[in-house]
């Protein structure tokens, strides 16, 4: 039963009530809650009656004063133990920069759907990765529901507004292609062969000829390469955090893969292996981890190194601008041109979801589109 009490404030007389809310499972002791600010005793009695009904029906939430940040801390304490260092760093940055400044100080039970929509709109106005942020915000709300901290998820039904570039459909503005065509690749590799070190030329050759991720190639050791079988094993990635290089296992089972290599690629790798051994002997370096691509002193290459080299060459020779990831896209596009199936491309690139492969397929080169048209015309002429 609730107890009622009258008290004085600067605004005049008010009423409060106290009532038992059940047993604390951690301590085994009874818990009470106090509600204040009622103008009359009748108002306090009605509120107490409603609360007692909630308690009886199991709808009362014991932790209704927790802030979003406090719930985030609970969730992340458990979640952080199940993810890799690279993922932890990305999630922590996302919450610190974009989520906690907007949600952190609010009581989680008071966050409304309209507020969530307003915040998502605000984020979307300046950040293209708004969907990733929404997913992380939602993780905390889902945890709060699971732990009976809130009854409803305020992020449910909240939508992501269209980006400005998605709303523009001008035929004069084509999507910037992030891949090279065959002739552009030949020109680029001729330049890297003439102007870069053998190590860097081999790295760019592998990016184009294998479709491997940059981090996968930087994590390669010589035992990953089978010269007799003509294959390359990709099972880990290089990640730089807090002043040290870390080798992490691949994110998904699909990322762990064995891919075939051509004779030209194997020949280049063998040539680089011999040169690396000679350089290490001359400089007295120890490549204890037997890493394929290292700096002169034997330590792993910086993750940003290849990005910088690619940008320098593109600017110097006025090449079509693409990113390092664009070389992976290039490999996939050429596989499609060579009549590889979607499944074959998915397996070679290590995509866990075939939708990722299909996305590349829909942006395939103009050459493939022309070939498709020619096939259609030839079929009609039969």
Which residue do the tokens 């993810």 mark?
A: 83
pTM score? 0.60
Q: How far is Cα 212 from Cα 209, in angstroms, rounded to an integer? A: 8
Q: What percent of the chain has pLDDT over 70?
A: 83
Q: How far is Cα 181 from Cα 369, in angstroms, rounded to an integer? A: 13
As a whole number, mean pLDDT of residues 46-57 equals 79
Which residues have a Cβ under 8 Å from the Cβ of 228 and sit 6 or more positions away? none
Per-residue pLDDT tens for 102-160?
999 999 988 999 999 999 999 988 887 889 999 999 999 999 888 878 888 999 999 99
Q: Which of 333, 367, 321, 317 is nearest to 176 (CA)?
A: 321
Q: Which of 133, 132, 128, 123 is nearest to 163 (CA)?
A: 128
DSSP 8-state secondary structure symbol assigned to residue 156: T
pLDDT of amino acid 10 = 84
pLDDT of amino acid 72 = 95
122-136, 171-185, 362-376: least confident range? 362-376
**Beta carbons within 10 angstroms of residue 243's beta carbon:** 5
Q: How far is Cα 116 from Cα 337, in angstroms, rounded to an integer? A: 45
What rounded mean pLDDT belongs to the chain?
84
Q: Has domain 68-167 been given CATH number 3.40.50.300?
A: no
In this chain, the answer to whether the domains covering 68-167 and 182-374 adopt an identical fold is: no
Distances (CA, A) of 118 to 93, 154, 285: 21, 12, 57
Indicate the angle between helix axes 198-210 and 182-195, nearest 10 degrees. Answer: 160
Distances (CA, A) of 68 to 73, 99, 222: 9, 10, 48
Q: Is 71 exposed, middle or buried (0-12, 13-18, 19+ CB in 10 A)?
A: buried
Indicate whether 61 pLDDT > 90.
no
Distances (CA, A) of 24 to 31, 33, 47, 158, 275: 6, 12, 22, 34, 69
Of residues 100 and 65, the one with the higher pLDDT is 100
- Ranges of each domain in the chain: 3-57, 68-167, 182-374
Inter-residue contact 134 to 157 (CB < 8 Å): no
As a whole number, mean pLDDT of residues 291-315 equals 90
Per-residue pLDDT tens for 346-356?
888 888 777 77
Q: Which of 214, 217, 215 is nearest to 310 (CA)?
A: 214
The separation between CA 115 and the C-alpha centre of its own chain, rounded to angstroms, equals 25
Q: How far is Cα 245 from Cα 224, in angstroms, rounded to an integer? A: 19
C-alpha torsion 87→90→96→98, nearest 10: -120
As a whole number, mean pLDDT of residues 314-335 equals 92
Inter-residue contact 348 to 259 (CB < 8 Å): yes
User: What would the two tokens of residue 46 be?
Assistant: 């009605």
Inter-residue contact 86 to 239 (CB < 8 Å): yes
Q: Which of 182, 270, 283 is nearest to 226 (CA)?
A: 270
Q: Which of 325, 304, 315 is nearest to 180 (CA)?
A: 325
pLDDT of amino acid 297 = 81
Phi, psi of 99 (to 5 degrees): -100, -55
User: What would the two tokens of residue 365 be?
Assistant: 């080169």
Inter-residue contact 306 to 325 (CB < 8 Å): no
First vs last Cα of the chain: how many Å apart? Answer: 89
Q: Which of 339, 316, 222 is nearest to 269 (CA)?
A: 222
Q: Is the dihedral of CA 88, 93, 98, 102 positive or negative?
A: positive
Q: Which CATH class is domain 182-374?
A: mainly alpha
pLDDT of amino acid 87 = 83
Q: How far is Cα 208 from Cα 348, in angstroms, rounded to an integer? A: 12
Beta-bridge partners for 240: 245
Indicate whether 359 pLDDT > 80.
no
């Amino acid at each position: 039963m609730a107890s009622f009490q009258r008290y004085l404030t600067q605004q005049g007389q008010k009423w409060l009530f106290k009532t038992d809310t059940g047993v604390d499972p951690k301590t085994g002791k009874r818990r009470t809650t106090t509600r204040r600010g009622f103008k009359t005793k009748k108002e306090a009695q009605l509120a107490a009656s409603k609360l007692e009904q909630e308690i009886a029906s199991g709808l009362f939430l014991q932790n209704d004063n927790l802030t979003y940040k406090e719930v985030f801390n609970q969730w992340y304490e458990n979640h952080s133990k199940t993810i890799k260092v690279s993922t932890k760093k990305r999630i922590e940055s996302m919450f610190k920069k974009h989520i906690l400044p907007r949600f952190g100080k609010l009581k989680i039970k008071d966050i409304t759907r309209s507020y969530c929509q307003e915040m998502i709109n605000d984020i979307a106005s300046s950040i293209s990765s708004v969907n990733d942020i929404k997913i992380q915000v939602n993780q905390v709300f889902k945890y709060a529901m699971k732990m009976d901290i809130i009854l409803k998820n305020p992020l449910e039904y909240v939508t992501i507004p269209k980006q400005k570039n998605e709303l523009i459909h001008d035929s004069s503005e084509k999507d910037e292609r992030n891949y090279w065509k065959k002739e552009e690749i030949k020109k680029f590799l001729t330049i890297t062969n003439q102007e870069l070190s053998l190590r860097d030329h081999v790295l760019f050759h592998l990016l184009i000829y294998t479709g491997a991720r940059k981090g996968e190639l930087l994590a390669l050791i010589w035992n990953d390469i089978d010269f007799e079988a003509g294959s390359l094993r990709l099972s880990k990635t290089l990640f730089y955090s807090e002043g040290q290089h870390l080798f992490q296992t691949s994110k998904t089972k699909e990322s762990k893969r064995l891919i075939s290599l051509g004779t030209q690629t194997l020949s280049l790798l063998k040539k680089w292996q011999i040169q690396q051994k000679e350089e290490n002997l001359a400089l007295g370096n120890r490549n204890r981890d037997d890493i394929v691509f290292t700096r002169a002193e034997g330590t792993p290459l910086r993750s940003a190194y290849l990005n910088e080299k690619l940008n320098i060459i593109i600017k110097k020779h006025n090449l079509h601008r693409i990113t390092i990831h664009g070389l992976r896209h290039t490999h996939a596009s050429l596989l499609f041109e060579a009549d590889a199936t979607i499944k074959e491309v998915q397996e070679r690139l290590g995509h866990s979801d075939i939708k990722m492969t299909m996305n590349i397929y829909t942006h395939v080169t103009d050459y493939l589109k022309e070939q498709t048209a020619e096939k259609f015309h030839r079929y009609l002429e039969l």
